[in-house]
Amino acid sequence: MRASEQRRKPADRIVDDPYAKLFLGPMLRAALATWEVSGRLGNLAEQFSPGLLAFVLCRHRYIDDRLVRALRADVEQVVLLGAGYDTRGYRLAHELKYRPVFEVDYPATSERKAKIVARYKKELPVSDVRSVEVDFQKDSLRDRLQAAGFKRGVRTFFVWEGVAMYLMRSTVKATLTELREISAPGSEIALDLWHPPEGFDFLSAAHRLSANALYLVGEPLTFHIHPEDSGPFLKRLGYRVLEVATADELGHRYVHDGRRVHEAAYMVHAAVARRRAAKAPEVEDGAGAPQ
């Protein structure tokens, strides 16, 4: 999707990612070429899930904007959870200024990406990108991060993109709790969430149908939460919500050519809340009065 966006005029691009095409396999390169010539694949994808393509691009752009703002402040490191073929470590090399970017993913994905990076090393900007291979069935995330040089207890920016909706609620809570525990207050996270459309119109029905269809390809949507409930949910886990950006807001900010943004998905930007100091126990003096 990021690679296909390059076919548009710069003014119409939601995301500008000149490196995405480097990570496409032969079949996707062919698909991209077909899309560039005819647009048919884009039309088919839009019919399958109206607004999904635009949302994915808006999601990426939203996270970019939040991350760049954090890098201009005092964030010391960046963690990409489920990094896949994310190129932020290279696209944002100037803003990163050699701060480490930890790309967390399964070994198979990380290994393939490393080979591609090595192949196109001369075309990619110099940046401190560190691969963190994690088998989530066996490995501890915090241990694997620390082994790669992650500093515990410092201001960190976490990117959790396109992952949470495929996990169980307990796993989402456990992951958010762990991220809070290994970072400093004020650390930030940007993630996308999803909720089933509530309307009875054709478009809402299409969104529900496309979500159900993901079960057929082995990627069922297992976690959803309404935007109104995301704030209390995150607060209970030790976060304060900085912003909830709905599809309408994302479209207003980033879409300038009439594309529709999937109404069932939205973005959340939150920060690790400052920990409350433990209340000191009252100590009684000899007369029994508390001091």
| Averaged pLDDT for residues 130-138 | 89
Which residue is associated with the tokens 């884009």? 42
Is the pLDDT at 92 greater than 60? The verdict is yes
| CB burial string 82-93: b at 16+ within 10 A, e below | bbbbbbbbbbbb
| Averaged pLDDT for residues 226-249 | 96
Q: Residues near 212 by Cβ (< 8 Å), separated by ≥ 6?
A: none
Give the number of other CB atoms < 10 A from CB of residue 260: 16
**Structural domain spans, the chain:** 1-48, 50-272
pLDDT band for 39, please (50, 70, 90 cuts): low
Give the pLDDT confidence score for residue 213 in this predicted structure: 45
Is the pLDDT at 285 greater than 80? The verdict is no
Give CA–CA dist 228/244, Å, rounded. 9
13-17, 130-134, 271-275: which has the minimum mean pLDDT?
271-275
CA 256 distance to own-chain centroid: 23
Pick the CATH number of 50-272 from 3.40.1350.10, 3.40.30.10, 1.10.10.10, 3.40.50.150: 3.40.50.150
Of residues 258 and 152, more confidence is placed in 152
Give CA–CA dist 81/284, Å, rounded. 50
| Averaged pLDDT for residues 75-87 | 96
Is the pLDDT at 289 greater than 50? The verdict is no
